[in-house]
Structure 1
Amino acid sequence: MSALPLSGIKILDLTRVLAGPLSAQMLADLGAEVIKIERPGTGDDARAFGPPYLVDPDGKENNNNSFYLCANRNKKSVTVNIAKPEGQEIIRELAKGVDVMMENYKVGDLKRYGLDYESIKKINPRIIYCSVTGFGQTGPYAPRAGYDAIFQAMGGLMSVTGHMDGEPGAGPMKVGPSIVDYMTGMNTSIGILSALYHRDARGGEGQHVDVCLFDTVIASLSHYAQIYLVNGKTPPRRGTWGNGGMPAGVFRCTDGELMLVVGNDAQFERTCAVLGEPELAKDPRFIKNNNRVVHGKEIMAIFAGLFLKRPVAYWLEELEKAGVPSGPVNDFAQMFADEHVRSRGMEVKVDHPFEHSLSLIRNALTFSATPINDYRAPPLLGANTKEVLSSKLGYDEAMIEGLKVKGIV
C-alpha cells in the first residue's frame, strides 16, 4: 500500500466555519498535515453554532458540536491570537515551513496583521496561499461578509428551487444543507491541488488562489443558468420534477413516496408497462420526450393516479426489474441503514476523547492504491498547541507557558 496522495504536504489552516474547513479536511484525509489555527478560548466560530454537542466526562456540553465535527477531522488544533504581535509572529514562523496557507477572513483583514499573501510570499515564495471569501478578492462586493443562504439567494439558486408557481407554499426556497459552502470547499481543494501541481510538477511558482461562494453558486447552476444565457428566460421552479427526462418527480404510493426519473423513450415505454398502462407509450402526446415535456402536467397527473394503487416496495422492485431509475425518499435513519450505504462504509467510527466510538461521514473518494483508512477525530480546542510549537518552532515549555499567560496561545 502506498502513502496517501498528499503525504508530505503541509498546510496552515486559518479558515473557520464550513467552506474552508471542509476543504482543509479533504486535504487532510488525503494525507496532508493540516495545522488548524483557532482563537484561544473560543476557537472556530463553528464551535458555537448550536446543538447537538458532545458531552465531556463530567456530562457537560462543550464546544465540540456537530457543525464543527463534520469539517475538522484529521487536523491538529493550535490556538493563536493573531491580533497580538506575538501571535502574528507565530503564524509567520509556521508559514515559512508549509506548502499551503488557507484563510477566509474578510478581504484586507489579514494585511493589517502582516499575514496577507504579499507579506507571506516574501518569507515563503513557494507558498500556495488560498483565500476563501463570500464575494472574492475583487469587485464591488469584495468587502462584504456572507453566509451560505445569502449566496443561495443572490446567486439565483433559490429562484429556481421550491414548489411550482400556483401550488401551496410556492416561492423561492433554500436548499436544506449548506450546499454552497460544500461546493466551495470542493472548488477550494481543486484550486489548491492545481496550484501545487503547477508548482511541483511543472516547475512553476507559488501563487494566490481566490475562491468565493458567490462564484461557486453561479457556476453550479450549470444547465439552468445556460438556459437563461441561451433564451433569456429563467427556468421555472419545478418542485421535485426532473430537469430533462419526463416524467420525473416524487410520486405518492399507498404507504409513502418514491422518486422516479424516466430518462428516455425506451424507459418511458417500460414504465408504462410496469404501471399496467402500456398504451400510454403510444399516445401522441407522450411518444417522445419533447412531447412529454410539453404535456408534463398531463403525464405527471396520470402517473400520480397510477402510483397510488400500490406500496413503495412493490413499485421499486418492478421498476428495478424494468431498468427504470427510481428510489425511495429516505430520511437520514433510512439512508444510513441502507445496505448499499453500509457496504460502501459511508459511516466511519473514530475514537474521540469524549466519545469512544464517534460516528463521522467518510471521505467520498475511493482509491485503489492509496485508500483513505485513517480517520482521526476532530481535535479538542488547542489540543496540539504544545506539540506544534515545540516540534515546528522549537519553543520550550517555559516559552509556551509564558504565551498562555499572556493569552497569545
Structure 2
Amino acid sequence: MTLKKITPLLSLCCMPISQTAVSASSDIQLIHQFHSEIYTEAQPVKAFVDDFDEPLTEGDSAFTYNVFELGMKYKGIGIGAQSRFDYLLAFDPDTARYTHTEKNDLPFEKRNYRYYLWGRQATTNGIFLSYDLELLDKKLVVTPKFTYFKSTHFQDARVDGTIFGDEIEGKLEAEYYFSKDILFKSFTPTENPKGDGYSLDLEIDWQITDDLRVWAAGKDLVYETKYTGAGFVNGFTTDIPFTEREDGIDTTPSVRLRTSAYDQEIEYTFERDARYYVGADYRINDSFSTTVKARKFIDDTFFQANLTYHFGDNWAFFGGYETHSDAFELGIKTQHAGLSVKMDNLNVDDAHYVNLNWFINLDF
C-alpha cells in the first residue's frame, strides 16, 4: 500500500487537485493547468460585482486568482508559458455598509462612516522555469519556480478616511496608481504603461512513509513589477471653516490632488503579498485516503479536509469541505488529468465562493 507521489510542479501550479497525481516515469512530460477562484464577503459574487443589492453580511475582503499554464518538463526541469489575472480587495465592514446603503437608496445614519478600501489587480503574461531538487533518496523534493512576465494593466489603490452620512462631508486620503481608469480618463496615460516583472514560488514535498506525505508551498514569495508611464491620483479631502453662524460653523470640502495629467506619468513598482499552503495526505487502505490542508491569504485562513476513493487503474474520486468559505469540493483525477469544482452554493447567483481547477500531465 503506497501513497501515490505528486509531480511537484503540478502541485505548485494546481494545489487543490494535483496533490495525489502519480509521478510520470517518462523523462518528457506535457504539463498544463488552469486554476480560477473567486471569493467575496459582504455580498455574493454576482451582487458584489454588479449592484451590491443582496442582504448585507459581515466581511472585509474579496479576491480572485486565475492562472493558465502550458509547458514541458524534462528530467525535473519545467518550462512553459503563463497567463495570469489576480485581484485583491480589502475593506472596512463600515465601508460595505455605506456602499450597500447608497446603492439601494436606504436612509443613512447621521454619523461618520469609516471608509477604507485597499485594492490591487494586475494582468500578466510570461514564461516560467522550475526545477525539482530531489533529496533523501528522492523522498524529499524541493521545487523553486521563477516566472518572468510582461504587463500593461494594473491598479493599486488605497482610500482611507471618514464620510458623514449622505452629506458631502468627511476626510479622505487617497493613493491610486493605475494603467487605465474610467473615472479618471483625463489622468489615464495615452499609451499603456510597460511593466516588467518577476515572481518566485517555492514548494517542499516530503514522502515520510509509504502512507504519509506532507507538503508546503509559498506562492509569490517574491513578486515585483516595475511600470514605466503609470497614471496616478494622490491627495486628500478635508472640511475647512467656511462661514460662521450663531449655532456653529459651516464647512466646505477642500480637495488637494496630485495627478498624472498633462503627461506627468511616473515609474511605479507594484508588489504582492505571499500566499501560503500546507497539507498532509494519508493512505488509509487500498481504497481510501484522506487529506487535510490549510492556506492563508493575508488575513483570510482556510482549512479543508478531503476523503478520496481510489478505484480502477489509478483513478480517484474525492470530496471535501473547507472552513471560512463554507465550500464543498468534488473532483475526479487519474495519473494524467484531473478536474474539480468547489462552491459554497450550487446557485451561482447566491455563491460567495467559486473555484474551478483542471490539470493535464502527459508522458512522451
- Taking structure 2 as the reference length, the TM-score comes to 0.24
Q: Judging by fraction of residues, say which structure has more strand.
A: 2
Larger Rg: 1
- Taking structure 1 as the reference length, the TM-score comes to 0.22
Q: Judging by fraction of residues, say which structure has more helix.
A: 1
